[in-house]
């Protein structure tokens, strides 16, 4: 009985925490982001130019302010190059994974939300999601309904936050176990598509399937519940803080253990001590795809690095910008002290990111035609590179062995040209890790998800990395 009472207290506490975080971070969603017309904008390897007088306010904010003062938005749009709209579609099409609440209870805890502690897991999910999008959809794909996301959606989020806080307070007074918040229906804009061609239908199937792999329920291959289970092998538990390097290893294990046949053609490699061993990567790519079936796997390479000591060294700025300019880059798990962000692009000396800190309601991705809007961010944010925490994980996607060899050559040239120090940020080395007297991690471990060498490395990462809230 006492345990049940404790669980109820924890549930009420988590609901208040969720509401508080929404109040705390909702202003960020409302804050306008400004982009200069004079500098190109890069987003995961694509370049955009905003050629208008003055500055272009990100996404829908220009439209909402124009409506407020009665100006002619259509005329303004006509003067802007097509790249503005293309950027809007491209950014919104990226998968946005944020704090969630009221999802199935995490095993071994009373937690039904990751508010306040799960942000690095969420940014890791976003990076992996981008890698899977490249694999199944390609970099040119955009969500057909991306431009339906507008400021009214953002307003409803803030309104919904207030209603959640009120409902949680009332529930605590009436001892109601699960206060229900009825979502406001969002009108569908435009006529429904009468017919889709084969390619569009296929793309929509994969779009939903990728999102479903990140659902907040135990069966989801890359959902929070599964990632926490793998994290336990490195000494982490639900409610703990996770650093970028630890999350990189957790993602690798999650992909290795995924049983969906669609995922058998993808593998993840994590660099060891800032070194990518080429033969180890190629061995992963050339391993048996599924039950003895021969084939070549695509690989997502994750490189945990530090961009300086206590603070980020600005000498690394050009390298980070170069990395985000590559078409096979899948982003960076990083942030600033006490907050994790998913970095996906830049303009001048500012990084463009998606913020996981907004807490949204649980969405059951197992139902047919589940709503997609909350998985796409309507507004990019910018942050000065100087504010970036030095601890981060960089990600790349290579479909074939030839792609990996080309990428390793290109990134090596970039590392050498950008490094003002004696040694580059990380290196690509020929051969296997075992050739250099390092323990080589087997592709499949039967009894333990992490080898002893990996456990030691993860513990070291856990003590070195910054605390994320």
Distance, CA of 350 to CA of 34 (rounded, Å): 11
Neighbouring-strand partners of residue 301: 269, 396
Distance, CA of 95 to CA of 373 (rounded, Å): 10
DSSP-assigned letter for residue 145: T
C-alpha dist (Å) from residue 217 to 32, 66, 76, 99, 137:
33, 41, 44, 13, 24
Token pair of 168 as six digits: 């949680």
Q: Which residues, 6+ apart, have CB-to-CB distance to 409 below 8 Å?
A: none
Neighbouring-strand partners of residue 341: 334
Distance, CA of 265 to CA of 287 (rounded, Å): 10
Check 115, 119, 329, 392 and give the catalytic one: 119
Which H/E stretch holds residue 330?
Answer: strand 329-336
Answer yes or no: 398 catalytic: no
Check 357, 377, 389, 392 and give the catalytic one: 357
C-alpha dist (Å) from residue 63 to 49, 90, 191:
18, 18, 22
Answer yes or no: 119 catalytic: yes
- Given a contact cutoff of 8 angstroms between Cβ atoms, the answer to whether 62 and 73 are in contact is yes
CA 141-127-372 angle, to 5 degrees, is: 55
User: CB-based burial of residue 326 (10 Å sphere; 0-12 exposed, 13-18 middle, 19+ buried)?
Assistant: middle
Q: Which residues, 6+ apart, have CB-to-CB distance to 198 below 8 Å?
A: none
Check 60, 355, 376, 398 and give the catalytic one: 355
Answer yes or no: 392 catalytic: no
Which H/E stretch holds residue 398?
Answer: strand 391-398
DSSP-assigned letter for residue 468: B
Collapse the DSSP code of 121 into the 3-class scheme (helix H, G, I; strand E, B; otherwise coil) and give the result. Answer: helix
Catalytic residues: 119, 355, 357
């Amino acid at each position: 009985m006492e345990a049940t009472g404790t669980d109820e207290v924890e549930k009420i506490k988590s609901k208040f925490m969720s509401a508080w975080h929404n109040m705390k971070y909702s202003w960020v969603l409302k804050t306008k982001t400004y982009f200069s017309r004079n500098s190109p904008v890069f987003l995961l390897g694509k370049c955009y130019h905003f050629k208008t007088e003055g500055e272009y306010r990100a996404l829908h904010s220009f439209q909402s302010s124009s409506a407020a003062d009665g100006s002619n938005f259509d005329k303004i749009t006509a003067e802007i190059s097509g790249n503005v709209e293309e950027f809007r579609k491209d950014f919104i099409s990226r998968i946005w994974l944020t704090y969630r609440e009221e999802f199935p209870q995490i095993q071994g805890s009373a937690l039904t939300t990751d508010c306040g502690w799960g942000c690095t897991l969420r940014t890791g999910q976003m990076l992996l999601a981008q890698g899977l999008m490249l694999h199944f959809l390609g970099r040119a794909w955009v969500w057909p309904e991306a431009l339906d996301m507008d400021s009214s959606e953002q307003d409803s989020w803030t309104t919904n936050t207030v209603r959640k806080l009120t409902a949680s307070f009332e529930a605590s007074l009436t001892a109601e176990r699960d206060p229900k918040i009825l979502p406001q229906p969002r009108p569908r804009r435009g006529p429904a598509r009468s017919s889709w061609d084969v390619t569009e239908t296929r793309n929509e199937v994969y779009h939903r399937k990728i999102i479903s792999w990140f659902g907040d329920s135990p069966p989801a291959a890359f959902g929070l519940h599964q990632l926490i289970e793998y994290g336990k092998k490195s000494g982490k538990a639900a409610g703990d803080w996770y650093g970028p390097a630890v999350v990189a290893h957790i993602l690798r294990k999650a992909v290795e253990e995924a049983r969906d046949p669609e995922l058998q053609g993808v593998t993840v490699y994590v660099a060891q001590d800032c070194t990518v061993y080429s033969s180890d990567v190629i061995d992963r790519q050339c391993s048996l795809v599924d039950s003895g079936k021969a084939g070549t796997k695509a690989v997502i390479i994750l490189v945990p690095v530090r961009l300086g000591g206590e603070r980020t060294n600005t000498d690394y700025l050009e390298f980070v910008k170069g990395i985000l300019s590559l078409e096979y880059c899948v982003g960076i798990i990083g942030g600033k002290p006490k907050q994790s962000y998913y970095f996906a692009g830049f303009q001048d000396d500012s990084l463009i990111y998606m913020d996981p800190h907004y807490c949204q309601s649980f969405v059951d991705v197992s139902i047919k035609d589940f709503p997609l809007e909350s998985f796409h961010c309507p507004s990019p944010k910018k942050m000065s590179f100087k504010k970036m925490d030095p601890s981060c994980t960089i990600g790349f996607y290579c479909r074939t062995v030839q792609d990996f060899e080309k990428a390793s050559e290109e990134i090596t040239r970039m590392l050498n040209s950008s490094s003002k120090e004696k040694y580059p940020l990380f290196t690509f080395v020929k051969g296997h890790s075992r050739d250099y007297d390092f323990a080589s991690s087997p592709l499949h471990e039967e009894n333990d998800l992490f080898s002893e060498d990996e456990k030691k490395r993860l513990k070291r990462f856990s003590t070195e990395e910054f605390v994320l809230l």
